[in-house]
Structure 1
Amino acid sequence: MTKIRLLWPRKTQVLIFGELGVSFLRKAVPKQYTTEVLPLRDGLPVAVRGSFLIRYLINCVRQKLSFRQAYFSALIDEFKPRAIVTFVDNNSILGVYGELHSDVLVISIQNALRGAASIKNQVGRAPLYFSFGDITKELFYETKSSYQRIESVGSLLLGLYLAENDFGQDAYDLVFISGYRESSLNDKSGGHSYEYCKALMDANGSIFTHLLRYAKDHCRKVAVLAKGKVANEGEHYAEEREFYQELALGSEFTLVSTVKDTFKSYRTTLNANLVITINSTLAYEVLSVGRKTLFGWVSNTDLESHKEAVRYTKYPPESLVLNNDSYEEFQEKVTALIDLRPEDYESVIEEYKSKCVNQDINNPPHMVIEREIRRHIEQDH
């Protein structure tokens, strides 16, 4: 049975659609504007007003919207916003809303790497879309998905972190970004998704064991940035911890907590000597600001049959991508990256680093969003 969450919407200048990343989104909204949040978790939101029901019926009958679209459009209208921002970028609700309400600024902010299937089936129609980089733009073109406007502005969270923190202190030696997914291991359906996730987990295990061997051979320390997000520092999902402990066979490594609604993951990776990953969005973010990164998407031959798996590794130089699952190649490329001087590494990645995440330290996404909101609201006065 669907849980109901009663709401009493208040008129606001800026509406945040969904709780995802709300603490970060607030930092991108000019402080002088009123802000409300439309919650999407913990039950179906229902506005306790007759006007909400009337709006819903009008949307269904006159606008001929789907029941879901009509419902959330009516719910948004109860807040009477001048601007809407969201981190829930993989849905079409706000794209349709923006088309029907040209007087409302609607901004959707990319929060993770998106494949063609996600853009086509989940996003479909986008409002003003602030993407990580040009690869996302290309996906919109390829899938013929509609949008009002797309701007490649980089990562909002990375921009917020860099606005207040330095990086490059090498507090960590070798950091492996975990790709562990308990659901993929327990999925016995045997479908395409299972095969894909199984291959991904095989690659994850292969790279981790190579990393432990390398650390032992070269007197290095390994830190694993956990995939599962927890509430407090030092906490971990038991299944993920046990997964790596079993693979380690007694070898030393540190499992670093990924704490919800904090910048812990950025602090860990930006202060690493080298970041190693299978498919993490975070790795492309830190690459965009010059951190040494090695990708293992094609380290397992099963992954090569999945176009989405290798799309993002078509662009970086070969020295940043593993071509097979051999330890010899792993050792060679890790050593070469560690020994590479920062200025030489910058030359290697210069052409590619902004392709996936177009990060401009001097013009971060939160400032771009703030200007966009202020410009729209002030032009009405």
Structure 2
Amino acid sequence: MRIPCEVVFSRFKANSRQAPVPSKPKKGFVVLQRLRQTPPQYQTTIAVEGDKTGNKFDLNKPPIILDNFIRQGKITLTFQTTPAVMVCINKACPEALGQLIDCIKKISKGENVDIEKVKVKRSDFKPSTITVTIQQDYRNQMKACSDFLKTLKIEPIDLRMPDRKWIECRNITTLILNENPIGSRNSNLDVFSKLKQLQSLELKNCSLGKLPIPALCDMVKGLPITLTSIDLSENQIKVFPPLFHLIQLRSINVSFNNIRYLPSRIGAFQNLNHINLSQNSMTSLPYIFPKIPTIQHVGLNANDELVRLQEEVGLLLVRKITTKVDGNDYTHDGGVDTLMTIASNAIHRDINRNMMIASRNFWPLSVRFQMDDLMYEKPGVSALEMCTNCLRLRHIRV
């Protein structure tokens, strides 16, 4: 059994009434292991950086356990050695600490406990946060990548593509790459899909608009479903990225781009709190935002065409108009699919991808920008605007 934590030692002096002076908090592990089978003998090791094996305590005399704050990941163990040693454990997993205490109590009652044998390696003490500020230091700092790394922040150092070294950071939750032109070379974009615990990704001003649309779509579609926050602002991207599988997203920032159309599949984000669409080229909005229960803020500043459209059309946007295609009723409570949307979906349904790429130059702009959203979707299945009543995707049937 091995529990990563933060450790503080307080060592009592022999024949002294003075309170012990606690050490500085250190990153470490609590290791419980079985030394031999008959008679069974158990040992607790408190391994810290610079001393992986020096703090060993036999459990012939069980430690005094203070577990009042176990729910906060804190316990105190006082080992009855000569002199006594008090170990304060912080920032640990409460469930793991509970298992540790249960094992120690069973051992003190003379029960046999089956414990998996584990080791503590030098690499286990690598940092949980890395911040790179100078290009010359990048390679040296990347040598510290490990399972412990939670946050990687790379300041603007002209990093031109994702580094495959990041894949070693399997538990990374926050990745900040702002103002590094990682989209300039169209290489290693699959690295993000390997970070299965990633929760926050910041790619502000990373030249993603220079990527071919298929490469950008593939990169975005491969992002892990654990993401709760993403920043793709200032990248000059022309279509809203296909983030729709990331149903845990709470914050989306796509401001300062060239996005003209927002698919109503945005309704898939049922946990979304904030979305920033400011400084784009939006001309219309789907009627889906009132159906997202958690939405708190929608940024729409400096979308001049959208403002003009709202002023001219006003309340007419919410009129309910009966629309039927192929005998199916596509009337929505919040509005109706535009003829341009229906046309775009029909084109996508009936012709193959190569024909779409070749023929898009002949389409009106009003159709073209909507087709860009469908260009790299699966052929033959094209969603119409999402119904605000049932949140189901409706499809055109041939």
After TM superposition, is the score higher than 0.5?
no
Higher share in helix: 1
Q: Which has the larger Rg?
A: 2
**Which bracket does the TM-score occupy, shorter chain normalised?**
under 0.3
Structure 2-normalised TM-score? Answer: 0.26
- Greater relative contact order (CA < 8 Å, ≥ 6 in sequence): 1
TM value normalised by structure 1: 0.27
